[in-house]
Amino acid sequence: EAQVTQNPRYLITVTGKKLTVTCSQNMNHEYMSWYRQDPGLGLRQIYYSMNVEVTDKGDVPEGYKVSRKEKRNFPLILESPSPNQTSLYFCASSSPLQGRTEAFFGQGTRLTVV
């Protein structure tokens, strides 16, 4: 089954404790991205990657890091989480080069930083 898998689904952590949210897709998509969803603001892009070892900042990259060492994986790293990073996070993938311009989303990770 074609899917984007995020882990964990729910996470509560304390300020300053480094964490990683994993994202994996099995569709051989070249494009992957991370979004955060906050009430009234829709989805805002954090980082994106156009292919292996090619990443770039989205609209709200501060406080986040990413890496793309393999085509299927695109982890999101919070080196020192703060309460303002409490949000719902989504990973998405697509394949514009194959004509698949729509994004396939993971189930989301609800992060709470206390």
Partner 1 sequence: AQSVTQLGSHVSVSEGALVLLRCNYSSSVPPYLFWYVQYPNQGLQLLLKYTSAATLVKGINGFEAEFKKSETSFHLTKPSAHMSDAAEYFCAVSALGGFKTIFGAGTRLFVKA
Residue 108 in contact with residue 88, Cβ under 8 Å? yes
Pair 109, 88: CB distance under 8 Å: yes
Out of 34, 47, 48, 64, which residue is the one contacting partner 1 (CB under 8 A)?
48
Stretch that binds partner 1, among 20-28, 33-41, 62-70, 75-83 (CB under 8 A): 33-41
Rule CB under 8 A: is residue 60 a binding residue for partner 1?
no
C-beta closer to partner 1: residue 17 or 112: 112
Q: Which is nearer to partner 1, 50 or 77 (CB)?
A: 50
**33 alpha carbon, distance to own chain's centre:** 6
Cα separation, 47 vs 102, whole angstroms: 17
With CB under 8 A as the contact rule, the residue among 19, 21, 23, 43 that binds partner 1 is 43
Is the distance from CB of 113 to CB of 11 less than 8 angstroms?
A: no
Number of residues that bind partner 1 (CB under 8 A): 24
Q: Looking at beta carbons only, is 65 or 110 nearer to partner 1?
A: 110
For residue 36, which of 111, 103, 75, 87 has the smallest C-alpha distance?
Answer: 87
Nearer to partner 1, 82 or 106 (CB): 106
